[in-house]
Structure 1
Amino acid sequence: MKFLNDMALFVEVVKAKSFRGAADAIGMPNSTLSRRISALEKTLGLRLLHRTTRKITLTEAGQIYYERCKRIVDEAKLAQEQLSEMLTQPSGVLRASLPVDFTVTYMAPLIAEFAKLYPGIVFDFDLTSRWVDLVNEPFDVAIRIGKPENSQLIARPLAVLPTYLYASPRYLDRSGEPAKPADLANHECLGIMKADTWTLHNGTNTTKISIGSRFTLNSVGMICRLATLDMGIIMMMEKIVADDIASGRLRRVLPQWRGAPVSACAITATRLLPAKTQHFIKFLQEHLGKV
């Protein structure tokens, strides 16, 4: 890199036809610039410039070297410009694994906004609840709820979302409404996967409750649907059940308590990401928590 920089300095000196003119143009002390060019000549073992008190001229070797340097420096500048353009307007196929219900409810409006900002990106989304293999499967990023199972992966936090307890009015009429967290032990509590405890807090106290259910599920949508069908109490992010709350199919249970917050994160196999992936993750970090 230093050698390329010295070549660029040499080109500037030749263009300006003086050390002082070049030094003023690039913002470098004249003495420093002169030493750098002298060191370049020593490294090459060639005299590149004839120096006089009034002007500088190229030697024969200097003319050949200048033509080659100018071509290399121009190509480097063009490459830098192209890279800058790629970073500001990334393109290509963005392959992402996304959780179904969370994506439909929280991320869909953000994805539409992101797509408008970056028309050069094509989207290949796989909506699934499984933990995909980012090392061996062709995904740029996976958006997941909770901590990654593989500690070797890179997890970038996107948002922390609160959760609350909900149930249908008919379920509560039939089974009774819990007055305190301990009462949940006597209720059908629909948890995701094989969760057997819920952690609740009210701003002052925190308690962990053992829960039980006849259902083992890995679908947020199915859990919410069962709750609207009077099958039990759920702990869920508010936006996921917003329509059910508005329609009266569900209502808050133990409203003074809330569940453990849910963390959404972007998971990648490496920290070295293409521009399209960097921009997607940054956009979600800036906007997801505000949805």
Structure 2
Amino acid sequence: MSLFVEVARAKSFRRAAEALGMPSSTLSRRIQALERAIGLRLLHRTTRRIELTEAGQLYFERSRGIVEEARLAHEQLDELVSQPRGVLRVSLPVDFAIVFLTPRLPEFCHRYPGIAFEFDLTPRRVDLVAEPFDVAIRMGALTDSHLVGHKIAHVPRCLYASPSYLDAHGEPGTPDELSQHECLLFPNETHWTLLRDGAKCQVAVDGRFHLNNVGMMQRLAADGLGIALLAPPSVSDTAGRGTQRLRQVLPDWQATPIEVHALTETRLLPAKVQRFIEYLKEHLAQ
């Protein structure tokens, strides 16, 4: 339809093709296909110029307004892409929100002032189809196969303990010695898998505290109650402040990194969601 409008305005395939940046032969074939689809001839073709048929004049008068509306719609969408706006609804784990996202929100807010936020900090797995969320952040292996996963980061984890704990209980020299220490663990966690230069070691661990909040785990470690697997200070400003009272244990060994994904219902994303995911990739990939 838009090609026909250009030809009707120019009254010439050559001039319309030059304006559109396409070969005249291609443009002519496209208009012929349009005429076949409609079942009416829209143009009278001569060697010097073209004229609109009665049907062509009616089609031009109706279609040029539609084409103009479509052009304006695309311009408005381009504005949304360059400066997205609207409410961004995100479901995310408490630990990720506090440790990783919060320190990076001020810059994102400054970059995209038209975006407002609704954050749901919950451990439950929300239904992106039935509930009004734009994106969900998940840490660990993906299980929602019907959703689209966008990998945004690998979070490394290292062993930390407070100097007071290490002074009282000694510092482990090998991973196997961790089984003799108080370890701060997630619920149902009984083993740690540690990596060094391609080597893998699995060690049984135990402790008095099992909890599902990294912030509290970090505080307990800082207060001398055990050894914890935490994100290194370089990963997060918040983690950095929290680990100032901690010392890295077995620095040559790291735990298996945790994958972080942004989940969406579809790959066709509004600009506000696309920019949010891109921003997280940009700042967390480091």
Q: Partner amino acid for 1:258?
A: Q
Map 1:16-55 → 2, pairs under 5 A: 16-55=10-49
Task: Give the corresponding residue for 1:81.
Answer: 75
> Is residue 218 of structure 1 aligned with residue 212 of structure 2?
yes
> Which of structure 1's runs of 4+ aligned residues deviate more than 4 A?
none
> Is residue 265 of structure 1 aligned with residue 276 of structure 2?
no
Task: Give the corresponding residue for 1:175.
Answer: 169
Larger deviation: 105-114 or 207-216?
Answer: 105-114
Unpaired runs of 5+ residues, structure 2, are: none
Map 1:1-291 → 2, pairs under 5 A: 7-239=1-233, 241-246=239-244, 249-290=245-286
Larger deviation: 71-80 or 41-50?
Answer: 41-50
Report the CA distance between 1:132 and its aligned residue: 3.2
Q: Partner amino acid for 1:124?
A: E
Closer, same or farther: CA 135–286 of 1 in aligned 2, 3 Å:
same
Distance 1:170 1:39 in 2: 81
Report the CA distance between 1:39 and its aligned residue: 4.1
Distance 2:96 2:84 in 1: 25
Distance 2:253 2:273 in 1: 37
Report the CA distance between 1:15 and its aligned residue: 1.3
Distance 1:141 1:164 in 2: 29
Report the CA distance between 1:186 and its aligned residue: 0.8
Closer, same or farther: CA 257–15 of 1 in aligned 2, 3 Å:
same
Distance 1:200 1:53 in 2: 79
Distance 1:165 1:179 in 2: 12
Distance 2:171 2:33 in 1: 84
Identity among equivalent pairs (%): 55
Distance 1:64 1:15 in 2: 14
Distance 1:58 1:135 in 2: 49
Closer, same or farther: CA 198–79 of 1 in aligned 2, 3 Å:
same
CA contact (8 A) 1:163 1:258 kept: yes
- Please, what TM-score do these two structures have when normalized by structure 2? 0.89
Distance 1:42 1:186 in 2: 82
Distance 1:256 1:42 in 2: 72
Report the CA distance between 1:21 and its aligned residue: 1.4
Closer, same or farther: CA 58–236 of 1 in aligned 2, 3 Å:
same
SS at 1:194 equivalent: coil
Post-superposition Cα deviations, 1:229-263, rounded to whole Å, max 9, x if no partner, equal 221110110135422443xx321111222222222
Closer, same or farther: CA 101–84 of 1 in aligned 2, 3 Å:
same
Unpaired runs of 5+ residues, structure 1, are: 1-6
CA contact (8 A) 2:183 2:209 kept: no
Q: Partner amino acid for 2:241?
A: D
Report the CA distance between 1:204 and its aligned residue: 4.5
CA contact (8 A) 1:148 1:267 kept: no
